[in-house]
Homo-oligomer: A and B are copies of this chain.
């Protein structure tokens, strides 16, 4: 036995985005308890030429939905990237979760061999589905979820790695 491309992608994105949603909700509660506007987090950056928190969440969402679409040869919905509040970013994550939940394992049959072509700042990149998922989409996805966590931690929100990892799946 082995695992399928579905097993290695959709449940990982869903689990981590559910945790990201809970993290954003904790940031909101943290600000409200201290009576400051939670939306000041939205434009926070770790360094002036790094992307702010809203872009981190948007790209985490895009990485997950883009990977699911590319691996199944379908088209992902385009989201407007117009979120300016933590509540809107939380809704963006929910919308991404709803989309990911529509995928069925059978759509991923043969996805490991599917040719994937990406336009990036490096030019045109060609991957097999397997290399796209494991060396690109997954790394990119976790990069942006972790950076969102790091920004909120840096901004004083009381979070721990437990929030990032989320509930441990029982068996």
Contact = CB atoms under 8 A, between A and B. Distances in A.
Contact of A127 (B1, B50, B168): B168
A154 interface: yes
Interface residues of A, number: 51
B3 A8 contact: yes
A4 interface: yes
Given A138-B12, A146-B143, A153-B46, A112 B3 contact: yes
B46 A113 contact: no
Interface string A69-104: 000000000000000000000000000000000000
A136 B142 CA distance: 12
A142 B164 CA distance: 11
